[in-house]
Structure formats: C-alpha cells, structure tokens
Structure 1
Amino acid sequence: MNPLAISLARGITRVTEAALGPYQTAVIRIGFSATWLLFLLREFPHRQEMYGPDAPWSWDMAQQLIATNHAFTILMWSDSQVWFEIVYALAILSSVLLLLGWRTRAASVLFMVGVLSLQNRSVFMGDGGDNVIHLMAIYLVFTRCGQVWSLDARRARLGWEARARGERVGPDRVGPVLWGVLGLALAAPTLAGRLSAGWLTLFWGLWAAQALWWVVAERARSNEPRVLLDIVANLVHNAALFVIMAEACLIYATAGWYKIQGSRWQDGTAVYYPLHLDYFSPWPALSDLMSSYGTMVMLVTYGTVIVQVAFPFTLFNRRVKNILLVVMITEHAVIAVVLGLPFFSLAMIAADAVFLPTSFLRRLGGWVTRARGGLFSGGGGGRTLPGPREQPPSAPDPAEPTHVGFRA
C-alpha cells in the first residue's frame, strides 16, 4: 500500500477514535474558568460601574453599538437592576460549575453566555486577557473537556467500578432534567424574538445534539449509533482543539511581528516605559529596581520579541517548545506581579497550557491528588484518578449529560 495512503488512514483513525488532548483541554477548562471566576469575585464590589446600570458606558450607548455590530449579550434584554444581578450571578455560578467539571456540556454553554454577556455589555472595559477569555469561552463549548480532572470523570469512574463489581446502577436522572430546564429557558427568549437566527441555530443545535445523544443512549438497540455519535463528537472536539492551538500561535505571532515594527522595540527600550507608568506600577520600588539596569531592560525587550515570533515554529521541536513554554509562563508570572496584570497573565498562561506535554500534566495531576489525599486523610496518600485511556473501550464520554448506569 502507498505510504501516503497508510499515513492518511492512520491520521483519520487517530482523529476519529478518540478526543485528543484530554489533559490539555482539562487544563484550559480549569484555567479559563478559574481566571474568569477570580475576576468576577475581585470586581464584585465594582460590578455596577463596570457592567451594570452605573457604568460610564450606559445601557443606551451599549444598545446603539450592539445594534450595529450584532454582538451577543443577554444583558441587553432588560435594563433592570434585578436582571443585571441575575446575569452576574449566572456568570459566577457557571464558572464554578465548569471549574469543577460538573455537567461540562451544559456548564460550558452557560459559561460562554456569561462571558459574552458581560464583556459585550461594556466592550471598552477589558484588555488582551479578556479577548482571550472571550474566544476560548466559545471554543470550549465544542470540546470534550470533562474527560479528566472533573466531577463528570469521577461519576463515570464510579459507575464503571460499580458495574465491575456486579452492582446495578440506576439511570442518570439529573442530565435530562437539567437539559429540560435549559430547553424551557431557551424557549422563552426564542418566542420573545430576543435571539438572532445565528444564535438560535447554535443554541437549539446544541440542545438538539444532547437530546439525540439521550435518545441513542436510552433507545438504541445496537452500539453502532453510539459509535457514530462518538466519532462526530471526537471530530468536533479535535477540530476545536486545533483551533485553540492555532489561536494561541496567532496571538504570539501577531504580537511579535507588530512589536518588530515599533521603534521602541527595535532600540531595546520598550519595556522601560510601562515600568514608569503609575497604572502599571503596583510596586514602584520593584519597577525602579528593574528599570535601573539598562542591560536587563534591553535583554527582556529583545527576548520578548524573539520568543513570541519564534514560538509557532518551535512546535516542530518538542524540546525547544517546552523550553520556550517555561520562558513564556515565567514571563507572564513576572508581568502579573511587576505590572499588576494578574488576570491577563492567568489567561495567557491558561492558553499556553494547551502545549504542555501530557506526561507532565499526568504527573502534575498525581502530585495534586496525593497532596489532596495527604491534606484530608492526615498524611495518607490519595489515589490518582485514571486517565481516559484507562477506562473500558466502550466507556462513554463522562461529560455527556445522560449516561445510563451512572449515578449523579
């Protein structure tokens, strides 16, 4: 057989038989939901001035802008204080649920609604980190990001262990109820004409996909329909994961090439100026100390440009890529402290995590599990949760809302 045909067949098999990068997508899920949650909690006392009725960007001004750019936000459905508090609470709740990995299919959709609703309400309030969260919130909807490190994965594992012991486990009842409630909630704005045709298609399409999954799980007499749905879900997941990786590369590549065109980046002094802006100097003494060494400023300036431009090309060499990942994550951690941009840095670190090696993430999960076990059991070691490859071949995706045989 032609070697090219063999390679093509192997590639098709790889992207259809499994959802790739389960640990990477779990890190993205945890990283972005935690970043958004911390931001919402940090700005809770100022929520009225940022996104609510007291915002400088008034409700009428936001309505006029949205009428032209057609951005999605449910905050524009009403200008009442009660509605704003409900939406803000929904954003916090969905972030917690996605962080824990509870019904990640539903939680990811609610997370996207919360992010888009608040950010599109006051478009001039955010920074580059908010833009990254904005995009990743959309991409996460199409991933199977609850395969590991989630309550969904724990529920799936307990269900399979119970079956292995010969115990009878009843059908999942929480999933159908949850999606039934969400269907009723979606029907209200649909009948009121609040959603555009595009968003109606997306939301009802997602809802119908889960309904189809439930019908197949409950009614299908053979395993073929479930296998077909798994293949489709894997293809969608892998395509979304590829888009996430491409988006991260695009962010660094465009940032690096734009920096090259700036005169301050060319002469090696660009880093000096933000260190002397009050807005970016939470620790003035530290900023003065760093900016007092001209050689360090020049090296950091040129190093930033080199790393950002080179990173997309290092993906072809695993060792170099891992080294640059360490450099970029360290750089973002320094930015969080020195320039006072913690949420921007957390968002970028979460985006970088998609390129972390699986072996490292598995070890990291083991360390966290053992530390948690030692903390809550008086020093006893905790059990490391099995990865997706350790589950039976026919095990369904734990992120799906309705799994016959799994307890909630």
Structure 2
Amino acid sequence: MNRLTLCLSRAIARVTEAALGPYQAAVVRIGFAATWLLFLLREYPHRLELYGPDSPWSFDLAQQLTADNHAFTALLASDSRAFFEVCYFLAVLSAALLLVGWRTRATSLLFMVGVLSLQNRSVFVGDGGDNVLHLMSFYLVFTRCGQVWSLDARRAARASTARARGERAAPDRAGPALWAVSGVVLLVAALTGRTGGGWLVPAVLWATWAGAGLWWAAGRRARTPEPRILLDVIANILHNGALFVIMAEACLIYATAGWYKIQGSRWQDGTAVYYPLHLDYFSPWPALADLLSANGTLVMLVTYGTVIVQVAFPFTLFNRRVKNVLLAAMMTEHAVIAVVLGLPFFSLAMIAADSVFLPTSFLRRLGGWAARARDRVVRRPGPRLPGQRLPGADEQPRVGFGA
C-alpha cells in the first residue's frame, strides 16, 4: 500500500511540476504551423474560390450548415471581400508567428481561429490532412509549445540572464497590448452576437484571455509566490493532458485506418496500392507511378506493409526501439505519398502528428545541428573556449502562461 501511494505521488508530481515533452511539443507546433502556412501561400491565388465570396459553397449555404452543426467560423460574420481578405491575412500571419514561436499563447489561439474559420467555411475543401490539422490546432492551444525552439524561449532566456546578473529586464509591452486588443475584439464579438457559432471556441478564447490576465497579475501584483505556483501547476496539467491527447489521436488515426483496411478485399489480396497510382487525380508523375506499379511483388509488399505498420504502431509504444523503427517507416511512407500521389499537405500534417513520438535525444541533436547551421549562415563563429557549448540545443527556459 505504501509503495502504491509512493508511485501515485510520484506520478502526480511528474504531471504537475513540469511540462513534459517540450521538444515534442515544439516540433508539433512547427510542423503544423509550417503545413498551414505553406498551404495558405500555395492557395493564395485561389483563396476567393476556395473560402471566399466566390466559393461554390456560397455564404448562405455555409450559414445553413453551421446553424445545424454549430461549427465555429469567423468568416460568416460578414460576406464582404475586404473582411475575408483581412481574415486570410491574419491566418497567414498567425501561422508564421506560431512557426517562429512569437507569443505562442496568443498566436496559437489566432492560429486555431484561422484554421477553424477557413475550414468550416468550405467543408468540402481538403484531402484528409485538413481533419488532422483541424483537431491539432485546437489541442495546441492547451500546450506550452514555446518552451524551446521559439522566440519566446529566447526572450525568457535573456530575462533570466539579466536577473542572474542583477540587471533589470526590459518591460514587456507586447504582452499587455495583445491582451488588451484581444479583449476588445472578444467584447465586440460578444456584444454584436458574431461569435462565430457554437459555444466551445468562444469559451476557450475567453478562458485563455482571463487566464493570461490572472497570470500577469500573479507575477506582478501578488505578494506571495503561491498564486503563480498554482497557475503554473494548472498550465502544466493542461499541457501534459493535451500532449497525451495528441498522442492518443495519432494512435487512433493509425489504428482505425489499419483495421478498416484489413476489411477491404483489395487490401487483403495485396493490390490496393496499385489503383491510386493509376488515378489521374493522384498521378502528378505518371512515369514514376507506372514504374512503381509495374512490379507486382513491390505493390504487394507495400500494401501489406502499410496495413501491418498502421495496426501494429499503437502496440509498439511499449517498446522504444520497435516504435522508432515503425515511426521512421511511417514518415518515409508519407514522404513517398507526398511525391508519388501529389498529396504534400496531407503528408506534412501526418508527419507533424507523428513527430510527437520522436525521441528527445534525437530532437536535441537535431536542435544542435540546426543551431550550428544557423551560426554558420548568420555569422562566422568566433574562437571557442575549451568546454564551451554552442547555444540552442539544451536550453529549456520556463515560459509562463502568458507567453
């Protein structure tokens, strides 16, 4: 009984004392922000036909659908082109800012609003990866995904260095300004009744806005550290819970896909991969598709291999080495799908979701390589003292709820 109590207390302490998986959360943030940004930039010439006033899915049809399913979209607040252009620009801007990790708490909310607004405006636009992006944009709001590999982490490290030297850190003006502007926007939307439909997303926006205000007040006005510690514990619990949900969602996607494939006769006889290679819509490189489909043994191995990997992956999480092998196989498969079938954004979304399972040691080495490559490109590295380490790989500054 004492051993059980000890294990339970250790588990509770682990969940509440720190935000687990900071590198995994960062790479998921970067992956989905890059996927959405590249998609918006590629479809910029066609934005009006996809999501805007010229869409075949008209403004009235979108209003009727959202009235039934209560889906959130800010684009139904007005049918003017100017309003749509502003919303599209903000969606691009939020994806770029989330990619570099600037004010990740605020930009993750704006990123979620942009994704949901555009996708729920025209529900028939997408290739499967949009569903993953739809879900992950909501989960990212609850993560502390700016602890590493972000401008937030750099700002926090500089403030910590200044405090260690006894210097006074520069006052934060951008954070209160973002909080005030977002509060005005939320208040105007509530008073005019244009909250985008449904209650969940507005409730999350208001709760996060209030939490950011409490965080600032606890850090600046509280006489004791207990309020800040309590908010830090709540933020850690939300982060760890959201990261667990992201992992569970990825496992559920692969498990359901694999078990549904098993029931298909084409997957059972090993010929399922052959058919999409000969569809015009999925053949950007017909010669390459013909080359791959000409070998019947290769088609059979890829067909069976896909089913085996997808069904087995959730069970391999209990074995790190096997999990890493299957993870590399799935990422490679999605990269091949991006090239051979012409589905780059679907593949990028799935690779970003898979990245949550990447080992921390690999991600830290990857961060070190990126930091050294950045230093070589940006500036010539000066002489290094014996034992001195390059920055960027192992820094894990703690970032507050308002970051």
TM over 0.5: yes
Counterpart of 1:337 (choices 327, 339, 348) is 339
Find the counterpart in structure 1 of residue 373 from structure 2: 371
Query: Aligned AA for 2:128?
Result: G
Find the counterpart in structure 1 of residue 125 from structure 2: 125
> How far is 1:400 from its partner?
2.4
Instruction: For 2:400 and 2:225, locate their aligned partners in 1 and report how far apart those are by CA, in whole Å.
Output: 17
Find the counterpart in structure 1 of residue 232 from structure 2: 230
Instruction: For 1:173 and 1:358, locate their aligned partners in 2 and report how far apart those are by CA, in whole Å.
Output: 34
- Change in CA separation of 1:132 and 1:337 when aligned onto 2, cut-off 3 Å: same
> How far is 1:386 from its partner?
5.7
Asked whether the equivalents of residues 145 and 399 of structure 1 are also in contact (C-alpha less than 8 Å), the reply is no
Counterpart of 1:290 (choices 274, 286, 292) is 292
Asked whether the equivalents of residues 212 and 401 of structure 2 are also in contact (C-alpha less than 8 Å), the reply is no
Instruction: For 1:98 and 1:356, locate their aligned partners in 2 and report how far apart those are by CA, in whole Å.
Output: 20
Find the counterpart in structure 1 of residue 101 from structure 2: 101
Find the counterpart in structure 1 of residue 35 from structure 2: 35
Counterpart of 2:363 (choices 361, 366, 383) is 361
Instruction: For 2:288 and 2:170, locate their aligned partners in 1 and report how far apart those are by CA, in whole Å.
Output: 60
Asked whether the equivalents of residues 152 and 398 of structure 1 are also in contact (C-alpha less than 8 Å), the reply is no
Q: What per-residue deviation string (whole Å, max 9, x for no partner) do you get for residues 176-219 of structure 1? A: 11110110011111001122444432221111011110110111
Q: Which runs of 5+ in 2 are unaligned?
A: none
Asked whether the equivalents of residues 331 and 351 of structure 2 are also in contact (C-alpha less than 8 Å), the reply is yes
- Change in CA separation of 1:320 and 1:172 when aligned onto 2, cut-off 3 Å: same
> How far is 1:388 from its partner?
5.5
Query: Aligned AA for 1:185?
Result: V
> How far is 1:224 from its partner?
1.2
Which segment drifts farther, 310-319 or 61-70? 61-70
Asked whether the equivalents of residues 115 and 137 of structure 1 are also in contact (C-alpha less than 8 Å), the reply is yes
Instruction: For 2:37 and 2:98, locate their aligned partners in 1 and report how far apart those are by CA, in whole Å.
Output: 10
Asked whether the equivalents of residues 98 and 111 of structure 2 are also in contact (C-alpha less than 8 Å), the reply is yes
Instruction: For 1:378 and 1:292, locate their aligned partners in 2 and report how far apart those are by CA, in whole Å.
Output: 50
Q: How does 1:272-291 map to 2 (within 5 A)?
A: 272-291=274-293
Over the matched positions of the two proteins, sequence identity in percent amounts to 71
> How far is 1:2 from its partner?
2.1
Query: Aligned AA for 1:383?
Result: L
Instruction: For 1:387 and 1:11, locate their aligned partners in 2 and report how far apart those are by CA, in whole Å.
Output: 25
Give the TM-score normalised by the residue count of structure 2: 0.96
Asked whether the equivalents of residues 255 and 314 of structure 2 are also in contact (C-alpha less than 8 Å), the reply is yes
Instruction: For 2:203 and 2:75, locate their aligned partners in 1 and report how far apart those are by CA, in whole Å.
Output: 20
Query: Aligned AA for 2:108?
Result: S
**2:228 counterpart SS class:** helix
Asked whether the equivalents of residues 104 and 399 of structure 1 are also in contact (C-alpha less than 8 Å), the reply is no
Asked whether the equivalents of residues 129 and 346 of structure 2 are also in contact (C-alpha less than 8 Å), the reply is yes
Find the counterpart in structure 1 of residue 220 from structure 2: 218
Instruction: For 2:213 and 2:93, locate their aligned partners in 1 and report how far apart those are by CA, in whole Å.
Output: 24
Instruction: For 1:386 and 1:356, locate their aligned partners in 2 and report how far apart those are by CA, in whole Å.
Output: 16
Query: Aligned AA for 1:79?
Result: D
Find the counterpart in structure 2 of residue 241 from structure 1: 243
Query: Aligned AA for 1:22?
Result: P
- Change in CA separation of 1:150 and 1:11 when aligned onto 2, cut-off 3 Å: same
Find the counterpart in structure 2 of residue 271 from structure 1: 273
Find the counterpart in structure 2 of residue 55 from structure 1: 55
Asked whether the equivalents of residues 29 and 98 of structure 1 are also in contact (C-alpha less than 8 Å), the reply is yes
Asked whether the equivalents of residues 217 and 226 of structure 1 are also in contact (C-alpha less than 8 Å), the reply is yes
Instruction: For 1:199 and 1:344, locate their aligned partners in 2 and report how far apart those are by CA, in whole Å.
Output: 25
Which segment drifts farther, 52-61 or 335-344? 52-61
Instruction: For 1:399 and 1:338, locate their aligned partners in 2 and report how far apart those are by CA, in whole Å.
Output: 42
Instruction: For 1:150 and 1:293, locate their aligned partners in 2 and report how far apart those are by CA, in whole Å.
Output: 46
Find the counterpart in structure 2 of residue 191 from structure 1: 191
Find the counterpart in structure 1 of residue 330 from structure 2: 328
> How far is 1:372 from its partner?
0.7
Query: Aligned AA for 1:282?
Result: P
Is structure 2 residue 365 aligned with structure 1 residue 384?
A: no
> How far is 1:398 from its partner?
4.9
- Change in CA separation of 1:197 and 1:290 when aligned onto 2, cut-off 3 Å: closer
Asked whether the equivalents of residues 152 and 399 of structure 1 are also in contact (C-alpha less than 8 Å), the reply is no
Q: What per-residue deviation string (whole Å, max 9, x for no partner) do you get for residues 333-376 of structure 1? A: 00000000000000000000000000000000000000010111
Asked whether the equivalents of residues 75 and 84 of structure 2 are also in contact (C-alpha less than 8 Å), the reply is yes
Query: Aligned AA for 2:391?
Result: T
Query: Aligned AA for 1:301?
Result: T
Instruction: For 1:359 and 1:110, locate their aligned partners in 2 and report how far apart those are by CA, in whole Å.
Output: 31
Instruction: For 1:63 and 1:22, locate their aligned partners in 2 and report how far apart those are by CA, in whole Å.
Output: 39
> How far is 1:303 from its partner?
0.2
Query: Aligned AA for 2:152?
Result: D
Count of equivalent residues: 396
Query: Aligned AA for 1:65?
Result: L
CA RMSD between the two structures: 1.4
> How far is 1:250 from its partner?
0.2
Query: Aligned AA for 1:208?
Result: A
> How far is 1:127 from its partner?
1.9
Instruction: For 1:385 and 1:298, locate their aligned partners in 2 and report how far apart those are by CA, in whole Å.
Output: 45
Instruction: For 1:324 and 1:271, locate their aligned partners in 2 and report how far apart those are by CA, in whole Å.
Output: 19
Asked whether the equivalents of residues 153 and 399 of structure 1 are also in contact (C-alpha less than 8 Å), the reply is no
Instruction: For 2:282 and 2:2, locate their aligned partners in 1 and report how far apart those are by CA, in whole Å.
Output: 59
Asked whether the equivalents of residues 146 and 398 of structure 1 are also in contact (C-alpha less than 8 Å), the reply is no
Instruction: For 1:192 and 1:44, locate their aligned partners in 2 and report how far apart those are by CA, in whole Å.
Output: 30
